[in-house]
Structure 1
Amino acid sequence: MFVRAYLRASTTEQDADRARESLQAFADSHGLRIAAWYVENESGASLARPELFRLLRDAQPNDILLAEQVDRLSRLTGPDWEKLKGEIATRQIRVVALDLPTSWMMATAQTDEFTSRMFQAINGMMLDMLAAVARKDYEDRRRRQAQGQAKAKAEGRYKGRQENVARNASIATMLSKGLSWSQIENAVGCSRATIAKIAKRAA
């Protein structure tokens, strides 16, 4: 059994590594060793998350996917959450989240089959509930943001998000020199979506 820690932030302006210390402290307190870290800056509302799916490909049956909160794993729509949950179930990965105490029992080997199955059922139900809450929170924030932008536009105050010209020029230069997207992502600290946008411009 390996513990694979997943860290995610939505944008490059946010620190995806922020929760590393909390995950390490949880692992230490439960006698676990984190075998690998998977860190990315991608939206939790999208299934386009390379590091999450690299974790799933790397994982073996009974490995643990450790996350700070369920919303780090999913702010997905219902159908997309079912796809991700199905992938996790197919690979027999145990999800443990710091904000989901019922999942903590998944971090220890179960000798009693009945107890193990009960906790799996309860944990699955709680995961579904928190994933739904995370999606609602995402949609509520997007709606409030759109309302704020509409008001600002009506008052002539909205200018939109300003492009990081210097960063994007650096990305274009690195692309022209043949650097891989992963190399650029690590060097600049941007998302793959940003690289894709710059690559499309240069095409």
Structure 2
Amino acid sequence: MRVYGYLRASTKDQDANRAKSALIDFAENLKIKISAWFVENESGAKLNRPELFRLLEFAESGDAILIEQVDRITRLSEKDWKKLKQIIVSDNIKIISMDLPTSHNTVSATDEFQKRVLEAVNSMMLDVLAATARKDYTDRRRRQAEGIKKAQDQKKYKGRPENMELQEKIESMLNDGKSWNYIVNILGCSRGTISKVSKKIEERNCYESNSNN
């Protein structure tokens, strides 16, 4: 059985690699080797996720996907979750999740009866956690929309504030010639945020150059 680590964050501003070290430690405790990593910044509420489906195409029968939590692989609607689960089940791919203890035992199970029982339990628990993840997603979206509407009614909503302090630190490091990887490791920010700051610097430099001319 080969095991593939899957890391996901919802937006470009979030660090999808945040849980990587925790998964590495977890894998070592289970005495399993992670053969490759698949990382992407996509919403878990979307069925179309390039890296996840690249993983599913790459994996063979009996292989496993290692995740931090079930919500990393799905915040999908019931209809889309059934589609994704059908692909996983038909390809005989296992899900090992840190928040699903019964899935940990699939690594060491050797008895055929034990394997079948664990598969049945895991299938049921995956459905429960998938439904929970979806409810959490829809609840948060609803509360967010209610909060925005209330702020709009009170003429207080100004959109999502930018983290100017973080952007200033990134700009300072870029100006000092630090690499993007160095900045990610030091500040824990995403490459998307660095790209945003880098573009601002380029636009400002271009404007100043044109002004001087």
**TM-score w.r.t. length of structure 2:** 0.75
Instruction: Tell me the distance in 2 between the aligned counterparts of 1:111 and 1:160.
Output: 54
Question: After the TM superposition, which of the residue ranges 24-33 and 139-148 deviates more from structure 2?
Answer: 24-33
1:55-104 per-residue CA deviation (whole Å, 9 max, x = no partner) reads 00000011010000000010000010000000101111010000000100
1:76 is the counterpart of 2:67: no
1:128 maps to what in 2?
Answer: 127
SS of the residue 2:38 aligns to = strand
Unaligned ranges ≥5, structure 2: 163-189, 193-213
Instruction: Tell me the distance in 2 between the aligned counterparts of 1:22 and 1:159.
Output: 36
2:19 maps to what in 1?
Answer: 19
1:38-71 per-residue CA deviation (whole Å, 9 max, x = no partner) reads 0011000011210100000000011010000000
State the aligned residue count. 166
Q: Is the 8 A contact 1:64 1:107 kept in 2?
A: no
Instruction: Tell me the distance in 2 between the aligned counterparts of 1:107 and 1:20.
Output: 20
1:155 maps to what in 2?
Answer: 154
1:93 maps to what in 2?
Answer: 93
SS of the residue 1:96 aligns to = strand
1:166 maps to what in 2?
Answer: none
1:56 is the counterpart of 2:56: yes
> Amino acid of the residue matched to residue 90 of structure 2?
T
1:81-129 per-residue CA deviation (whole Å, 9 max, x = no partner) reads 0000001011110100000001001223x32111110000001100000
> Amino acid of the residue matched to residue 153 of structure 1?
Q
1:198 maps to what in 2?
Answer: none
- CA RMSD, 1 decimal: 1.7
> Amino acid of the residue matched to residue 27 of structure 2?
A
Map 1:2-13 to 2 at 5 A: 2-13=2-13
Instruction: Tell me the distance in 2 between the aligned counterparts of 1:138 and 1:89.
Output: 24
2:169 maps to what in 1?
Answer: none
Instruction: Tell me the distance in 2 between the aligned counterparts of 1:189 and 1:15.
Output: 8
Q: Is the 8 A contact 1:95 1:106 kept in 2?
A: no
Instruction: Tell me the distance in 1 between the aligned counterparts of 2:191 and 2:43.
Output: 15
1:117 is the counterpart of 2:116: yes
Q: Percent identity?
A: 55
**TM-score w.r.t. length of structure 1:** 0.78
Instruction: Tell me the distance in 1 between the aligned counterparts of 2:90 and 2:18.
Output: 30
